Structure 1
Amino acid sequence: MTQALSGMRVIDATQILAGPYCTMVLGDMGADVIKVEKSPGGDDTRRMGPYTDGESHMFMMVNRNKRGISLNLKEEEDKKILYELVKTADVFIENFRPGVAAKLEIDYETLKELNPGIIYCSISGYGQTGPYRNKGGFDIMAQGLSGIMDMTGEKDGKPVKVGIAIHDIAAAQTAIQSVLTAYIHKLKSGEGQYIDVSLVDSALAWTVWEAAAYFGEGQLPKRNGTAHRAAAPYQGYATRDGFILIGAANQKLWEKFCLYVVDQPQWLEDERYSTNSLRNEHALQLEVDIENVLRTQSSAHWLVLLEENGIPSGPIYSYDQTMNDQHIQEREMILEYEHPQFGTLKTLGFPAKYSQTPAKLSKPAPRLGEHNEEIRAELGL
């Protein structure tokens, strides 16, 4: 099957996570992604663990389906090679701190003179404008500025970082959709354009429920542990041997939960729990009442009852349990491939399942400078 982005060429001048994740997805969908790494040293992720036989497994995770060339962009000869590559490309993506690309003479204004149709995407912590544009912006700083850290954690606890690099991935997803939108425009008009993506903007755009509460009623989001801000019961609860998630968030589900799962019909007569709004208002007491019942049986016992009665529910897994879950495996979210140097390796699969243009794992992450000669030959150098 033909892949959706076959024929698109992407020059990837990014490192660490947000940029490489973006270009990885483009490569998964068939784009010819050429990763440009600094020489010497390469992508800083190469020196970050965990390692497989001395090679960063993290680097291999987010740089699959790419070819690699190493260049020292402070050297004119290497810069000319990049310029020749840009002439053949549809997309150029970088994640330097604002101003660095201009100093290296690989900014949008320079590259569009070589290729007027180039789609140029910059990914940075705070964006190319604004008073914070020159600040170094890692994921954790973006979590602090966006308010997401302040709203995450237990009710009386400290602010907590989200367990994954959520702003990096949010920026990657924003860059993906932005590049593809610009590519559609280019196919229609022949025009390239400049795209400015920041970690802070990208994740802030995901806080739609919190923004609605703030703009609508002036409410500030508070730390609620696993609880929902407007529905109850809708959170994690302790059982005899662990924790489970229960989402009896409307009246019908609440009634079924009381009658057929926990056998507590008196809760339906309790004025504190008579409506969703009141249950949410008394969510702390409701949590105590529910857990007093749930602690009498195992998680497995309750999950069976909840499932039988059509109440949304689920386990709270450790990551190894997730990786070994039959549903995750049947959905092919864990892939194995052969690496020419390290043998059989595992990586994450593709979250979108296409009927006509599926994603493919066609090549492992490149070794540093692996395709130098191949790419130079294609350029006639």
Structure 2
Amino acid sequence: MSMIAPHSGRSLSGIRVIDVSRVLAGPLCGQMLADMGADVIKVEAPTGDENRQWAPIADDGESCNFMSVNRGKRGITLNLKDPEGRQVLYALLEQADVLLYSFLPGTAATLGIDPAMLRERFPRLVICGISAFGAQGELADRPGYDALFQAFSGIMSFTGERNGGPVRSGVSFVDMTTGILAYSGVLTALMGREQTQQGTLVHASLLETAVFLLGYHGVGWLSTGALPRREGSGLWSLVPYQVFACQDGEVLTGALNDSTWRRLCRCVGRPDLENDPDLATNAGRLARRDEVIDEFKRIFASGTVAEWMARLEAGGVPIAPLHTIAQALTHPQSLANDMVVEVDSGNGAPLKLLGTGFKVGAGPHHSPRRPPRLGEHADEILRDIAGLSAERIQALRARGVV
């Protein structure tokens, strides 16, 4: 199998992915591959992916967590603890380009997912393993979830209010970014296979993602020894740059550099601040941080969100209203960029899901297939891909393998 023209919105048509991963990171990677045209087979244990049970639960009984990362896939259940279940998996891998899995090394081996063995048996297969603590080191066999790595990586140590405790981010950004990085790794491996005709191993982990996301904070400590501090909605290294309360809501704005500081002072009608030599540089403003912040709190409390948005946007100062999710997902700009999409729910009503975070060519930019119900496509997958007869499928069902 090979990829088609790179300018098509379905540029992964012809690529088949077997997704035995669970929860968020691996399934998100699989969803992104499906959105770009890959045939993604979601393989679950007979009891289902654990995130089918996670709240919130939609009116039709489906988990919103599961639906958020499984669009575009066909679904089958396989008991990989049963030798016959593993043989069915191998039959699927014979016709596949990519395997996604997220089991601990010991569990993976028990379930027949030994990367070394699979590479020998399926030399063109790209095998992507997603773990908690990475493939190497004494913690490689330890499980983990998103919030654990917000803590372990140090990210949580500088997230929260100045005089408060550490705060977990409201979104599972470590999990989700791990899925995005896994997607990048899979595409890189597929491109390499075009040249070598050989698959390879790809690995991503929550630990590596979280440390990678430290970005300039991590480089700052490596270079200067400076540890970032909690500053609520603000940033420890810039003043002012945070959320300010207005008469009818809140906005996030501030000065990312000294020229923006001067424009900000003009927009709010404060030439005295602009002309204060002690505040002309960010270093000077940091030295008088509390004074500057208190002054801008008073300034923004004197007007409405709309008034400040108009004045600062006209003056070239970055500003954004503090939206709820409802406001963000109904905003014309989000809708104009296809960040809310509809697929057929199967019951006659459209199912609204989030769009993909990048676009390729003219589209389409997402798969029209809704997330699969547990084991929904087992017969067609076993028949058309694994090549099993109706009698064999029936026997596997009777044994509880599918």
Q: 1:123-158 deviations in whole A, cap 9, x for unaligned?
A: 111112212222220111111100011110111110
Residue 195 of structure 1 corresponds to which residue in structure 2?
202
- Give the letter for the 1:60 counterpart: M
Contact 1:83/1:114 (<8 A) preserved: no
Given the alignment of the two structures, is residue 321 of structure 1 paired with residue 327 of structure 2, yes or no?
Answer: yes
Contact 2:18/2:40 (<8 A) preserved: yes
Identity of aligned residues (%): 37
Given the alignment of the two structures, is residue 53 of structure 1 paired with residue 60 of structure 2, yes or no?
Answer: yes
- Give the letter for the 1:252 counterpart: S
- TM-score, with structure 1 as normaliser: 0.95
Shift of 1:358: 4.0
Given the alignment of the two structures, is residue 306 of structure 1 paired with residue 296 of structure 2, yes or no?
Answer: no
Q: 1:296-352 deviations in whole A, cap 9, x for unaligned?
A: 111221111101111111101111111121111121211122211362211011221
Shift of 1:361: 2.2
CA distance in 2, matches of 1:148, 1:251: 27
CA distance in 1, matches of 2:357, 2:62: 26
- Give the letter for the 1:146 counterpart: S
Residue 154 of structure 1 corresponds to which residue in structure 2?
161
- Give the letter for the 2:272 counterpart: Q
Contact 2:355/2:366 (<8 A) preserved: no
What secondary structure sits across from 2:128 in the alignment? strand
Given the alignment of the two structures, is residue 110 of structure 1 paired with residue 147 of structure 2, yes or no?
Answer: no
Change beyond 3 A, Cα 1:351–1:170 = closer
Shift of 1:293: 1.4
Contact 2:146/2:175 (<8 A) preserved: yes
CA distance in 1, matches of 2:302, 2:308: 10
CA RMSD after TM alignment: 1.5
What secondary structure sits across from 1:288 in the alignment? helix
What secondary structure sits across from 1:78 in the alignment? helix
Higher mean alpha-carbon deviation, 165-174 vs 55-64, is at: 55-64
CA distance in 2, matches of 1:357, 1:47: 33
What secondary structure sits across from 2:68 in the alignment? helix
Question: Which structure 1 segments of 5+ residues have no match?
Answer: none
Shift of 1:357: 5.2
CA distance in 1, matches of 2:224, 2:62: 52
Q: 1:42-93 deviations in whole A, cap 9, x for unaligned?
A: 1112222222322223222211111111100111222111001111111111
Given the alignment of the two structures, is residue 168 of structure 1 paired with residue 175 of structure 2, yes or no?
Answer: yes
Given the alignment of the two structures, is residue 377 of structure 1 paired with residue 383 of structure 2, yes or no?
Answer: yes
Given the alignment of the two structures, is residue 216 of structure 1 paired with residue 223 of structure 2, yes or no?
Answer: yes
- TM-score, with structure 2 as normaliser: 0.91
Residue 90 of structure 1 corresponds to which residue in structure 2?
97
- Give the letter for the 1:316 counterpart: L
What secondary structure sits across from 1:52 in the alignment? coil
CA distance in 2, matches of 1:317, 1:338: 29
Match of 2:140 among 129, 133, 138: 133
State the number of aligned residues: 379
Shift of 1:275: 1.0
CA distance in 2, matches of 1:246, 1:23: 36
- Give the letter for the 1:203 counterpart: A
What secondary structure sits across from 1:241 in the alignment? coil
Shift of 1:97: 1.9
- Give the letter for the 2:49 counterpart: D
- Give the letter for the 1:251 counterpart: D
Change beyond 3 A, Cα 1:358–1:247 = farther
Residue 130 of structure 2 corresponds to which residue in structure 1?
123
Matches within 5 A, 1:1-16: 3-16=10-23
- Give the letter for the 2:264 counterpart: F
Shift of 1:6: 0.8
Q: 1:214-257 deviations in whole A, cap 9, x for unaligned?
A: 01111011111122233222221122232211132222222222
CA distance in 2, matches of 1:366, 1:96: 21
Given the alignment of the two structures, is residue 44 of structure 1 paired with residue 50 of structure 2, yes or no?
Answer: yes
Shift of 1:7: 1.1
What secondary structure sits across from 2:243 in the alignment? strand
Match of 1:99 among 95, 106, 115: 106
CA distance in 2, matches of 1:356, 1:295: 45
CA distance in 2, matches of 1:359, 1:262: 42
Contact 2:344/2:350 (<8 A) preserved: yes
Residue 65 of structure 1 corresponds to which residue in structure 2?
72
